[in-house]
């Protein structure tokens, strides 16, 4: 059988667009392309290797970045709603957030076939063209993680070369997470939340408190009596579960394509990622379930 001859503008290669749109006239746009900026969107994929896997790798990485930003937007929206006492609206926003996470997780399926021999040229090309790469350099992902309440200054380390983004993330590190705002809502609603859970250094990791666990136990013990808080808790549970699923899919993707070679803060990739599966947001909401009778 002869080799398949692809049109020239679909050939992969360093600096070659996936689908070169040719000359562009800004006056020749449809409402669809103008709204989506699709004429620009299709010029944002510039492969750095000859790996036939790179188009899928690159596009899916960009899609993930967009979902990180969408989730950050939704979480910050929910924070504003909680602070305004709009519990129903906040719960609806968090349900949307869980749906976004499910779609985000679906992107892993699009690159689940990736193998080491296909990924290695891509990573080599990124290093040659853009410098040493690490997925930890996604500042939007780190902002999302901070909003979910998983706080550590280590998240700022990969962004030392981008002081503006690092400064904004340092601010985000010291700001309340979505869980802090939920606890604030509890307290304003008359539930006994300890002051040291409300007035604390938000840049420090949250320390679970048994009194907060008792509030969640009461909610889950009598869901009809606490219907709105129960619905809020279940939306948060969906988010935490989907976020943990994302981390698991990430770990398995690294295991399949990168192995345990050094890559994360100079540590083996699998060994570094594995413990992060235990970083599950909203701790007392989970532990309280064991106390429900």
Claim to verify: residue 98 and residue 178 sit in the same structural domain: yes
Claim to verify: residue 96 and residue 240 sit in the same structural domain: yes
Mean pLDDT in the chain?
Answer: 89
Which of 192-196, 201-205, 241-245, 256-260 shows the lowest per-residue confidence on average (mean pLDDT)?
A: 256-260
pLDDT tier for residue 233 given thresholds of 50, 70 and 90:
very high
pLDDT score for 7: 45
Domain count across the chain: 2
The answer to whether position 3 is within a domain reads no
The answer to whether position 193 is within a domain reads yes
The answer to whether position 81 is within a domain reads yes
Claim to verify: residue 56 and residue 26 sit in the same structural domain: no
Q: How far does CA 17 lie from the centroid of its chain?
A: 27
**At residue 3, does pLDDT exceed 70?**
no
Claim to verify: residue 69 and residue 39 sit in the same structural domain: no
Claim to verify: residue 56 and residue 39 sit in the same structural domain: no
Both tokens assigned to 82: 């909680």
Say what the pTM is: 0.91
Q: Are 136 and 154 in contact (CB under 8 A)?
A: no
The answer to whether position 273 is within a domain reads yes
d(CA 285, CA 233): 7
**At residue 215, does pLDDT exceed 50?**
yes
Range of the domain at 160: 52-291
Claim to verify: residue 36 and residue 103 sit in the same structural domain: no
pLDDT tens-digit map of 44-72: 998 999 999 999 999 999 999 999 999 99
Give the mean model confidence (pLDDT) for residues 177-203.
97
Neighbours of 240 (CB within 10 A): 21
The answer to whether position 1 is within a domain reads no
d(CA 102, CA 194): 34
pLDDT tens-digit map of 77-129: 999 999 999 999 999 999 999 999 999 999 999 999 999 999 999 988 988 88
The answer to whether position 238 is within a domain reads yes
Q: What is the DSSP string of 127-143?
A: HHHH-S--GGG-HHHHH
Claim to verify: residue 248 and residue 108 sit in the same structural domain: yes
Claim to verify: residue 37 and residue 66 sit in the same structural domain: no
Claim to verify: residue 110 and residue 147 sit in the same structural domain: yes
d(CA 249, CA 106): 10
Claim to verify: residue 29 and residue 106 sit in the same structural domain: no
* 260 phi, psi to nearest 5 deg: -100, 25
The answer to whether position 287 is within a domain reads yes
Claim to verify: residue 15 and residue 121 sit in the same structural domain: no
pLDDT score for 11: 45
The answer to whether position 4 is within a domain reads no
């Amino acid at each position: 059988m002869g080799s398949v001859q692809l049109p020239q503008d679909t050939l992969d290669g360093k600096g070659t667009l996936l689908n070169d749109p040719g000359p562009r006239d800004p006056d020749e746009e449809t409402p669809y392309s103008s709204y989506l900026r699709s004429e620009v969107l299709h010029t944002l994929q510039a492969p750095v290797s000859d790996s036939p896997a790179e188009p899928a790798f690159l596009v899916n990485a960009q899609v993930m970045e967009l979902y990180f930003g969408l989730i950050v937007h939704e979480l910050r929206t929910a924070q504003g709603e909680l602070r305004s006492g709009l519990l129903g609206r906040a719960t609806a926003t968090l349900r949307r957030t869980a749906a976004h996470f499910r779609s985000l997780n679906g992107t892993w399926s699009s690159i689940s076939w990736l193998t080491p021999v296909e990924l290695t040229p891509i990573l080599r090309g990124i290093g040659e063209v853009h410098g040493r790469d690490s997925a930890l350099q996604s500042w939007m992902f780190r902002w999302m993680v901070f909003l979910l309440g998983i706080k550590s200054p280590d998240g700022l380390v990969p962004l030392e070369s981008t002081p503006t983004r690092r400064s904004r993330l340092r601010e985000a590190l010291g700001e309340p997470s979505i869980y802090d705002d939920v606890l604030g809502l509890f307290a304003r609603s008359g539930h006994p939340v300890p002051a040291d859970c409300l007035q604390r250094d938000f840049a420090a990791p949250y320390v679970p408190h048994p009194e907060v666990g008792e509030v969640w136990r009461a909610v889950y013990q009598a869901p009809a009596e606490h219907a709105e808080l129960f619905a809020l808790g279940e939306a948060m549970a969906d988010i935490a579960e989907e976020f943990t699923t994302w981390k698991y899919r990430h770990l398995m993707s690294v295991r399949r394509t990168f192995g345990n070679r050094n890559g994360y803060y100079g540590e083996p990739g699998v060994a570094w990622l594995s413990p992060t599966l235990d970083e599950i947001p909203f701790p007392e909401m989970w532990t309280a379930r064991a106390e429900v009778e």
